Amino acid sequence: MGGGSHRRHRTATERRLAGDPNIASSMPPARYTVEGTVEPDGWPNFQVDGYGTWLWSLSEHVGNWGARSLLDDLGGSVDLVSAYLEAVGLDACYDCWEENGEAVHTSTLACVYGGLSAAAALLGRQTAAQKAEEVAEHIHSRMRIGSRFAKSSANSGVDASLLWLALPFGVVSPADPAMAATAAAIEAELLLEGGARRYAADRYYGGGAWPLLTAWLGWLRARAGDLPGAQRCRSWVEQRFDGFGHLPEQVFGDRRDPDAYRTWVGRWGPPAADLAWSHAMYFVLWDELQRAVTGPSTNQRAAGPPLATTGLVARAGAPDPPKQTRQGTLDQTRGAQKRKGLK
């Protein structure tokens, strides 16, 4: 993060700690380019799930690869972001879909919890550990409806992003009764032709089913011991690859809500045809199922997921990632990433 971004973090943190309200238009940036510059795309700015996710992912990288030296360069940013989340993490903000800025969102709180727990582990920051426990308590006491978790403080329905409570952020275990009830509600209310939708009232490109979220549901099912359910999710995602090895953002929205679908196509063109996070979650699910087959105590692993389903060419060593083969698809993907600020 650059100096200007640092100043915005400090100003927002100090303002909130002084008891003053957040100013959405003045909050730290929510979206960055691959090069690390701020993306001025006009989408809502006050969105904190990405900051928690960054802390969590850094901690995972450091822990899995023994990369403690990264903290020599990034320790100051970790401290800065942790302080920011400690100050604003329980406040209303925009959710992971860049919507509903007046509510507190359960999946955002999961990201905040994961990020603060990571900051405590990385830097031994006790205030982060204490705030993480406060966030967890808030989720359990304030973000539930009956036996399951709710989408937000303003919506008692379910959202497929509630899966994040268990994986990867660990607010609850996959077998927790409230998590199991939430997953069951997602399957009962949000499945469309076998794939998981975002939430019931979704009309973005017709509110279709997302490979990303279907793979996430399969990940939860695998961790909960339901391997047939996880395999069904993996098979559904594999059937969404096109001949170029591309996974779309979503499918079947044109069937579910043709009018909404046509409205979005008229505004922005066809839905994104290839998203990195869709591919990433497919590999996460594939890897989880492979671990279930080989067992957690062995290093014996297959070379990769079925190449026929990913459009990859078999080569020596690890398979290459899918490559864009058409300029039109590449331009379309860039446009989708810019307008949606996808992480």
Structure tokens at 215: 């793979």
Examine the residue annotation and report whether 98 is marked as an active-site residue of this protein.
yes
Inter-residue contact 123 to 78 (CB < 8 Å): yes
β-pairing verdict for 195-196 and 191-192:
antiparallel
Instruction: Determine which one of 249, 257, 274, 288 is catalytic.
Output: 249
Place of tokens 């996974």: 247
Q: At what angle do helices 211-223 and 276-294 cross, to 10 degrees?
A: 20
In the three-class reduction of DSSP (H, G, I as helix; E, B as strand; rest coil), residue 98 is classed as coil
116: helix, strand or coil: helix
Q: How far is CA 102 from the centre of its chain?
A: 20
Per DSSP bridges, beta strands 191-192 and 144-145 are unpaired
134 catalytic? Reply is: no
Helix %, strand %, coil % of the chain (to 5) = 55, 5, 40
Calpha distance 284→214 (Å, rounded): 12
Do 50 and 343 contact (CB within 8 A), yes or no?
yes
189 counts as catalytic:
no
Of 49, 86, 95, 257, which is the active-site residue?
A: 95
Among the listed residues 49, 86, 98, 159, the single catalytic one is 98
Q: Would the CA dihedral through 130, 50, 194, 186 be positive or negative?
A: positive
Which residues are marked as active site? Answer: 95, 98, 249
